[in-house]
A and B are shown apart, each in its own frame.
Chain A
Amino acid sequence: MEPRKSIGVTRESSPGLPRPGAALKAFRLRFDPTTYGSTIVLVVGIILTSIFSPAFLTLSNISNLLTQIAVLGIVTMGQTIVLVSAGIDLSVGSNAALSGVVCGLMFQAGIPLWAGCIAALACATVIGLINGLLISWRRVEPFIITLGMMTLLEGIAELITGGSPINDMGALATTLGGTIPVVNVPVSILILFIMVILTWAFLRWTPLGRNAYAIGGNEEASFLSGVSIKRTKIYLYTLAGLVAGIGALVLSGILNAAEANIGVGLELQSIAAAVIGGTLLFGGRGGAWRSLQGVLLLGFVSNALNLLSVGANYQNIALGIIVIIAVLVQKTR
């Protein structure tokens, strides 16, 4: 990234009339499409959809929409942490599937559910740790390492389940998969909300979160500033793993099931959501709220297209176009 000339305070800027185009330039500078683009699309879309489909702005539909995106949202938070550091984690989907399966198998074997849940989180965290160790050991490409890990984990999950689903997650279905009494809000939405707050706080208020931005923005400069690149990366991938594990438990609760191929597509959707929200694929910029916007936009589009009775094939086309536009908008900045 080339350093640009100072825009605000230059000695040669005359105090008289503003140069033509200067105002526009200043506006462009403040108006960052990677920040507001998805918000505007979302708001305009919501207005249009509620005009064309009265079923859209109903409590049950909104609640339905949010439940559908809860797991994606949670996993995207972990993905965001890694993306900010200019990394990527393609293994979050199969990590979530395997962790869910671990919990389900233990429950099936008569082990208490709480122990199964802890085992699932531990499994997800260790997988993240292994990702981090492999990536920081000799600076290999995270894309390839986590791609390999994705395939590996899928294989393990298939192996230990024998390919058949686990169709009873016991109390998980009524707790994480249930609703909060009285207010009648799905628990999964509450957990998503908590995860967004935690991720936001982590990136903003902790040294590790700050180092993630530094490494993502300029790894060389961070290294020369004394930031421990290896340790930071190991922590970040470990966290992404843990978050995937939390997503796995929520998913198992909502579906009251665990299955080896349940996380397929989650990795790409989480990356797409983060990018649509304005988290840069090449690092250094992004955050929890932006990524949440991306998740909401993805969820909204598929919900709206459903309500407007657009076929599933068209939905994929629409989602693909949104991802491409989001990346193009980022590149033109």
Chain B
Amino acid sequence: MALLEVEEINKYFPGVQALRNVSLGVEAGEVHALVGENGAGKSTLVKIISGAYRPDSGRIIFDGVTFDEFSPAYATAHGISVVHQRQQLVPWLSVEENILLGKQPRRLGVVVDMRARRRLARELLAQMHLEINPATPVAQLSPVEQQEVVIAKALYQKARLLILDEPTAALGPAQIERLFELIRELCSQGVSVLYISHHLEEIFQLAQSLTVLRDGVVVTTRPVQELTQGEVVDMMAGHHVTVARDVPEDALTPAAGRPLEEAASLLELRGLSAGPVLREIDLSVPAGQVVGVTGIVGAGGHDLALTLFGLMEPFAGECRLRGKAYTPRGPQQAIEQGIFLVPENPGRDGLVGLMSVAQNMTIVDLPAITRAGILQLKEEARVARSYVSSLHIATPTIEREVRALSGGNQQKVLLAKALQAKAQVLILEEPTQGVDVNAKEEIHRIIRELAAGGKAVLVISTDIRDLLQFTDRMLVLRKGRIVADIPTIEGNYTKILNLTLGTEDVSWSQEKA
């Protein structure tokens, strides 16, 4: 009998069967890895196990107890703890206060017993073989130490199953090793870990067993030693495609297929390095091209967008726009020089929900509709109507508050904004995330039309399949570096997935063998 038994779990969300008959077991003292693409159902499953969602059917049995209630408090009380990053800590409180928060030892039931608290924290940290001063404010700790404190907090609450979701995202190699040591130590003490990660090499280093989810279904669940990284990638992707043979080898060199001489490049990066991950980026984007940039979360796509929009300062390399040096110091300058960023979450970061469709479109360039210091509202309405009809935005009037529109239509309002800003280079982050199929196709079409109209478009997305449908070229980022710059070919999916995960060598050698 395993410590955690997940039995035949089903979960349906409007429009999608998120989980279908999902079963798996986590033994006491083991690290069980959960892998799958974005949208495969990993986070839904975690939310059910940790009590945030109620399943439509199926059972969760933990240490012989069948859960009859689904709430985070219930799951925690039974010993299941999700370790998120940082957000569970109060930065200005000390390590010991954070660990014992909510369950402080008390004297006479009222006053916090400081001495007992220090002692308990010391004992716990010693048991974990950690050398952290319990009196240090958490804000002064390194990322890995903070994560250790979160784990200590979970253990203090008698957690016996820790759920770690991408725990190494913010950590360097030495820190990752340190975290792994702690995990192994805890496992030897009988604690189990459900480990969710995109980094297969980490999983093969750490986990004893592994479950692959795809489209809400368990593809396999078995011991890691029976599997190779290549097999896992194939199971995540769903079909075995030997792309390496479809694409000529020379197509894998940067920007091949479309020589640079063919079109003058609008945007050119040479050896650009910025932020904690982005390193030595060489990239040139000619007018009329749609370039997809993909990679797992944290691979540097978002940082690339921030750098190009003047929100992150590069510390090495150069950036040229229409042949001239381009060093924006903020969005205002970036927009003035012809670059526009469509952020990932339009409702939150891109649009002003309380303002009308028309007002959202023109806010990016008010001088264009201003004469003698006065806004020309008729001119504004004319501009807005033309975008509503050319981009097929479904809204009853241009006066409608933009928050009342669907996600797809909000995305189109943002594209109208980019047009109104007269941007020549568009950077779109996850443009089709959370929009329905029809809207997706329309957004693809609009992006293609923008490119056909002479704009350069950079689409940054983790959704490889989506990118393959409308880009000319795919750029793969891993750990902040470009690992491939290849023409878009439909069948490239598995190849690109391998490149993002860093498993390409394994997969290729197996295919050749």
With beta carbons under 8 angstroms apart, the residue of A2, A205, A223, A227 that contacts B374 is A205
Contact B403 A214 (CB under 8 A): no
* A309 in the interface (beta carbon within 8 A): no
CB distance from A307 to the nearest CB of B (A): 39
Bin chain B's interface residue count.
35 or more
Q: A1-16: contact bitstring with B at CB < 8 Å (1 yes, 0 no)?
A: 1111111111100000
A-B pair number, CB within 8 angstroms: 110
**Closest approach, in angstroms, between the C-beta of A60 and any C-beta of chain B?**
40
- Answer whether residue A300 sits at the interface, using C-beta atoms and an 8 A cutoff: no
Is B421 located at the chain interface by the 8 A CB criterion?
A: yes
Judge whether A3 and B394 touch: CB under 8 Å: no
Chain B residue with minimal CB distance to A220?
B349
Which chain A residues lie closer than 8 Å to B349 at the CB level? Answer: 218, 220-221, 224
Query: How far is it, in angstroms, between the C-alpha of A7 and the C-alpha of B401 when the chains are bound?
Result: 11
Is B107 interfacial (CB-CB < 8 Å)?
Answer: no
Which residues of A lie under 8 Å from residue B396 when comparing CB positions? 8-9
Interface of B is mostly: helix
- B209 adjacent to chain A (CB < 8 Å): no
Of the four ranges (under 10, 10 to 19, 20 to 34, 35 or more), the interface on chain A belongs to 20 to 34
Is B394 a contact of A6 with CB atoms below 8 Å? yes
A3 touches B347 (CB 8 A): yes
B354 and A4 contact, CB distance less than 8 A:
no
**A contact patch SS:** loop
Minimum CB–CB distance for B495 against chain A, Å: 34
* Shortest Cβ gap from B337 to chain A (Å): 11
> Which residue of A3, A7, A220 has the most chain B CB atoms within 10 A of its CB atom?
A3
Say yes or no for A332: interface residue by CB 8 A criterion: no
How far is it, in angstroms, between the C-alpha of A6 and the C-alpha of B365 when the chains are bound? 26
Contacts of A6 in B (CB 8 A): 394-395, 404-406, 409
Q: List 8 A-B contacts (CB under 8 A).
A: A2-B347, A3-B406, A10-B394, A10-B406, A217-B352, A218-B354, A220-B349, A285-B354
A220-B348 contact given A9-B396, A207-B367, CB 8 Å threshold: yes
Query: A9 CA to B359 CA in the complex, in Å?
Result: 20
B residues within 8 A CB of A225?
A: 331, 335, 363-364, 417
Instruction: Tell me, in angstroms, the Cα distance from A3 to B405 when the chains sit together.
Output: 7
The reply to whether the CB of B336 lies closer than 8 angstroms to some CB of chain A is yes
Q: Which residues of A contact B373 (CB under 8 A)?
A: 206-207
Inter-chain contact B410/A1, CB cutoff 8 Å: no
* B348 proximity list for chain A (CB < 8 A): 218, 220-221
* Complex Cα gap A221–B364 (Å): 10
| Contact residues of B between 285 and 332, Cβ < 8 Å to A | 309, 331-332
Task: Contact check, A7 vs B404: say whether CB atoms are below 8 A apart.
Answer: yes
Q: Please name all residues of chain A whose beta carbon is closer than 8 Å to the beta carbon of B350 when the two chains form the complex.
A: 221, 224
Decide if B370 is an interface residue (CB 8 Å cutoff). Answer: yes
CB of A175 within 8 Å of the partner chain: no
Chain B residue at minimum C-beta to C-beta distance from A2 = B347
